[in-house]
Structure 1
Amino acid sequence: MTKRPNFLFIITDQHRADHLGCYGNRVVQTPNIDGIAARGTRFERFYVANPICMPNRASIMTGRMCSVHGARHNGIPLSRNHTTFVELLRDAGYRTGLIGKSHLQSFTGLPASNTFVPQPGKHVPAPHLRDAFKDNRHSEAYDLEHVGKWDKPLADRAGGDFYGFEHVEVAADHADQASGDYLLWARGQRPDFDSLTGPENALPDDRIKAPQAWRTAVPEELYSTSWVADRSAAWLEQRAQEDAPFFLQMSFPDPHHPFTPPGRYWDMYDPDRIELPPSFGKSALKPVRAMREAMEKGTDPRDNQSPFAVTEDEARAIIALTYGMISMIDDAIGRVLDRLDALGLAEDTVVIFTSDHGDYMGDHGLMLKLLLHYQGVVRVPFIWSDPQAPRQSQVSDDLSSSIDVASTILARAGVQGFNGMQGRDLFGDPPPEAVIVEEDSQRVMTGFDRPQRVRTMITERYRMSLRHGEDWNELYDLQADPGEMHNLYDDEAHAAIRARLTETMLRRMVALQDRAPLPAYRA
């Protein structure tokens, strides 16, 4: 038995909390994830620091809000100058591995929407003086996940250290179009692998008609979910031969769109048996109405990363396919947990499950994420199972955040955190009176006429969202209105509550101001 615990940190992508059996879903089958919850603690009110992939993953890694670590939206990588909790574990003697999705750096290679624009009649600063930071994260060190440059494994290019991970096998992108190290492997298994992927190579199926959904020709054993599980099991087998403790991040690219569960998972769930959320089609917010009008007029392409409106049949189909992706992940997790047990590692390994953000999944008639902080997008699962400190089927209603992950893992490992960490130990520190969610978009999306800057606060009872440059905001009573259908922000009867919440939000944002760096001298 090791003196220090191992950690298996499982993270999915775009997976809302109520899409698990242990969180009350009566349709999706997730017995293995439910089993982790039965052996540990399930956090009911766990919120993202940011409802977008790169910012929230950076917040998990650093224990810091995105306004502090600077990765405010996709397209801004996590600086190599920012310390991660994985680096602290490695410094303390842990073996560290990342298998699956990373997304700490950009992988699209698309041009930035926000760029430095020279002003006529003024001297234009030299390139290295055009940002507040001279280290602007635009060097080759931040192109390691760039799909267009992925001609050999990331490990061969990272030099043995990728944000604290000594071992990396990465899957970039999503669904049957996942790439990176996974794609290099898949092409090695089948030289014609590319002829199996994408909508142009999809298997015929007239039953499902929904945006970004196709029946992939990729077999289950070659799909990214299976690859992540198989490579994770192989890495664990190596660790079983060593005495050093380990931290493995097993990161699945699914159930993110496109919606392409392979094989038997494609039709595992019948769309006709899917219930729509009570809020479907009931939002009075201007952008939601605009998205629905764009869908009805056919002016919204609905084929990219922006949120979009759906019909009832489309919503049922997409939810059913998402359930298939989740069940495939659950089966894969079960295989890895069985291997962990067979290797004699289970009794020393803390198993953690979470996601980087959620998805509307039909809430208010929408799909995907971004811009609107409904519970389905900002509330995610967080489950902690520690065999050395058993907590059978416990439930925590404490307000918790993605920034708490790092502090909680370090506390259990007996490793001191670094100066500037903003999260708390979920089992040792009291909860805050509120959690903050930040979002800064970099482009205009359907329903909006400008990029959005949103700050949301969630308390025990309320959710309030404030927007920069807009003439509307949001306030919901989550106890009386869990579907967030009645915006109380401009309701005179709630003026006093709004004022109190505004002060609470200000206090919490002051508490989250940066305390790094440490001073060199005492005044």
Structure 2
Amino acid sequence: MTRPNFLVFLTDQHRADHLGCYGNPVVRTPQIDELARSGSRFERTYVANPVCMPNRGSMMTGRMPSAHGARGNGVPLPLESVTFADVLAGSGWRTAMIGKSHLQNMENTPPALPPQAPSGLKAVPGLDQARRTRIDQPEYRQELRSSWADPAHQLRLPYYGFQEVILCNHHADECFGDYSRWLARHHPQVADRLGREHGSRDPAKTAPQAWRTQLDEFQYPTHYIAEQSQEWLRRHARDHAGEPFALLCSFPDPHHPWTPPGRYWDMYDPDAVQAPRTARSVDGQPPHVAWLWRERLAGQARLESPRFFAANEREIRDIIALTYGMITNIDDRIGGVMQTLRECGMDRDTVVIFTSDHGDLMGDHGIMLKGPLHYQGLIRVPLIWRDPEAPGGQVREDLASSMDLGPSILRRAGLAAPDGTQGEGLFEPSGATRPSGRTGVLVEESQQRAYLGFDTPVQVRTLVTRRHRLSLFQEGKWGELYDLEDDPLEERNLWDDPAHARLQSELLQELAQTMIRHADRCPRPTSLA
């Protein structure tokens, strides 16, 4: 299999430990578990950034957000970026993306901190930013909900290397794109009854951002994405049987809001799931966690917004149960796509990958959603790689990064990653294991918001080694240091412990050296001077 196919399943805001194959005893994920049983399961894969747009950019380019430019949500991936899909398409693979993209902005929401000239100084229009390339131009408005309101709007193909795209952007039953047009054609009776204003609240559930959708499971975005992927595979087998393909099947769930359709809504009993042990521990939390708890107790938490918040145990149980329903829905649909792959006779020629763009705090330390709290539930993601040419049942303990996805696909295809790629190829062209060689993984986060007790937008850099997690904040005299072996729940912050001062110094030096190694080296020089 010298030119294998690639089928990538991508979920959104999905923790590694919310899968059966990663040790979860409650959530039912037999299809994904089977991929792990017949493939390689990575235990220590971490995000390059725990936010959607920057980490998706890293998965596509094999580069850190500080290198590819989409440093946070609200900043699109530069169109000049060379992605793994570009390289595959340029080498004879048919490339397609079906589902959520989020490589560009999805909504017209104004930025939290728009640029402002210092008091008394005048900004020169058109020259008010350090780069001439503007990201408010039409080519960077392709994924906006407002753009898709125009019936004639389509993505300009190829789109970041994908020759075909069927777009289903956003989350829950509030998705739009090709999906909303399909829904209007085939299910007009519910097409205008989407979102929280049309959903019904369940009095048995206290969770914010949770409603019973008007959609049944066969109208819901998860089913649509799987069905479109199955149809694409059938067309490929019929019309392009001699060509290899790369298909990204990208689900918007289990990201909040929590709206699992039909039978998935109450598939899991909140009383049968456990809230994290750390959710009950409010006293002695680090300053940023304590800030969120003070905000909630003062009645100032933004429970219906995308920003993270402190939650009580009842809310956490409700949310976990609803999340499990969304995950099982995804698992059922992955089963259908895999069945189609087998029916088309392409299973033995296809590398199948499952991963997520980032995790969710999901009640760790009593906090929901995501933000600059780099606990394991947020920054550690599942990565499963099933290769027909390789033995199954392997468990990989080497440190891996989300930005290894693209380089691994290209190396397995026998193709060189572009110069400037920072990720590692985790498999050889033969399918054999190739260790990452990492001693640490770098995690970046650059927020628009000034909160958690900081006066400026939160900037944090994290280093995860085989045993420790160190997080350094731009502002503030405190940081975080956890021994993941002795303290896997990250309850004892060793940052100010005199007994660990030498360890802190050593890890800070390793963090600095890791950041130096990840400095951008692209474009390469064309002369000595």
TM bucket, shorter chain:
over 0.9
Decide which of 458, 468, 471 is 2:477's aligned counterpart.
471
AA of the residue aligned to 2:476: E
Structure 1 pair 153–373 and aligned structure 2 pair: CA distance change class (3 A): farther
Question: Could you list the runs of 5+ residues in structure 1 that have no partner in the other structure?
Answer: none
Measure, in 2, the Cα distance between the counterparts of 1:115 and 1:215.
Answer: 36
Secondary structure of 2:289 counterpart = helix
Say whether residues 1:206 and 2:203 are aligned partners: yes
Measure, in 2, the Cα distance between the counterparts of 1:212 and 1:361.
Answer: 14
AA of the residue aligned to 2:14: H
Find the counterpart in structure 1 of residue 430 from structure 2: none
Q: Does structure 1 conserve the Cα–Cα contact (< 8 Å) formed by 2:190 and 2:214?
A: no
Decide which of 145, 148, 152 is 2:146's aligned counterpart.
148
1:63-98 deviation per Cα after TM superposition (whole angstroms, max 9, x unaligned): 000011111111000001111111000000110000
Measured after TM superposition, the shift of residue 325 of structure 1 is 0.1
Find the counterpart in structure 1 of residue 179 from structure 2: 182
For 1:55-204, what aligned pairs fall within 5 Å after superposition? 55-127=54-126, 129-151=127-149, 157-203=154-200
Decide which of 441, 454, 464 is 1:458's aligned counterpart.
464
Say whether residues 1:238 and 2:239 are aligned partners: no
Secondary structure of 2:14 counterpart = coil
Say whether residues 1:490 and 2:489 are aligned partners: no
User: CA RMSD of the aligned region, Å?
Assistant: 1.5
Measured after TM superposition, the shift of residue 180 of structure 1 is 1.6
Structure 1 pair 469–203 and aligned structure 2 pair: CA distance change class (3 A): closer
AA of the residue aligned to 2:420: G
AA of the residue aligned to 1:493: A
Find the counterpart in structure 1 of residue 419 from structure 2: 419
AA of the residue aligned to 1:371: P
Secondary structure of 1:249 counterpart = strand
Measure, in 1, the Cα distance between the counterparts of 2:134 and 2:490.
Answer: 39
For 1:47-446, what aligned pairs fall within 5 Å after superposition? 47-127=46-126, 129-151=127-149, 157-203=154-200, 205-241=202-238, 242=240, 243-282=242-281, 284-388=285-389, 390-427=390-427, 428-445=434-451
Measured after TM superposition, the shift of residue 515 of structure 1 is 1.3
Q: Does structure 1 conserve the Cα–Cα contact (< 8 Å) formed by 2:308 and 2:368?
A: yes
AA of the residue aligned to 2:481: L
Aligned length: 519
Q: Which moved more, 1:468-477 or 1:282-291?
A: 282-291
1:118-142 deviation per Cα after TM superposition (whole angstroms, max 9, x unaligned): 2354453341x22222113221000
Q: Which moved more, 1:264-273 or 1:183-192?
A: 183-192
1:376-432 deviation per Cα after TM superposition (whole angstroms, max 9, x unaligned): 0000000000002x2211101101001111110000011111110000111335421
Measure, in 2, the Cα distance between the counterparts of 1:226 and 1:466.
Answer: 41
Q: Which moved more, 1:271-280 or 1:426-435?
A: 426-435
Structure 1 pair 194–157 and aligned structure 2 pair: CA distance change class (3 A): closer
Measure, in 2, the Cα distance between the counterparts of 1:366 and 1:13.
Answer: 18
Measure, in 2, the Cα distance between the counterparts of 1:216 and 1:292.
Answer: 30
Secondary structure of 2:277 counterpart = coil
Q: Does structure 2 conserve the Cα–Cα contact (< 8 Å) formed by 1:33 and 1:330?
A: yes
Measure, in 1, the Cα distance between the counterparts of 2:151 and 2:386.
Answer: 33
* Identical counterparts, % of pairs: 47
Structure 1 pair 502–301 and aligned structure 2 pair: CA distance change class (3 A): closer
Structure 1 pair 204–139 and aligned structure 2 pair: CA distance change class (3 A): closer
Secondary structure of 1:200 counterpart = coil
Secondary structure of 2:67 counterpart = helix
Q: Does structure 2 conserve the Cα–Cα contact (< 8 Å) formed by 1:153 and 1:169?
A: no
Secondary structure of 2:88 counterpart = helix
Measured after TM superposition, the shift of residue 106 of structure 1 is 0.2
Structure 1 pair 380–258 and aligned structure 2 pair: CA distance change class (3 A): same
Q: Which moved more, 1:26-35 or 1:198-207?
A: 198-207
AA of the residue aligned to 1:163: Y
Question: Could you list the runs of 5+ residues in structure 2 that have no partner in the other structure?
Answer: 428-433
1:329-362 deviation per Cα after TM superposition (whole angstroms, max 9, x unaligned): 0000000000000000100000000000000111
State the TM-score, normalizing by the size of structure 1.
Answer: 0.96
Measure, in 2, the Cα distance between the counterparts of 1:3 and 1:506.
Answer: 40
Find the counterpart in structure 2 of residue 509 from structure 1: 515
1:226-280 deviation per Cα after TM superposition (whole angstroms, max 9, x unaligned): 0000000011111112111000000000000000000000000000011111211
Measured after TM superposition, the shift of residue 3 of structure 1 is 4.4
Q: Does structure 1 conserve the Cα–Cα contact (< 8 Å) formed by 2:180 and 2:191?
A: no
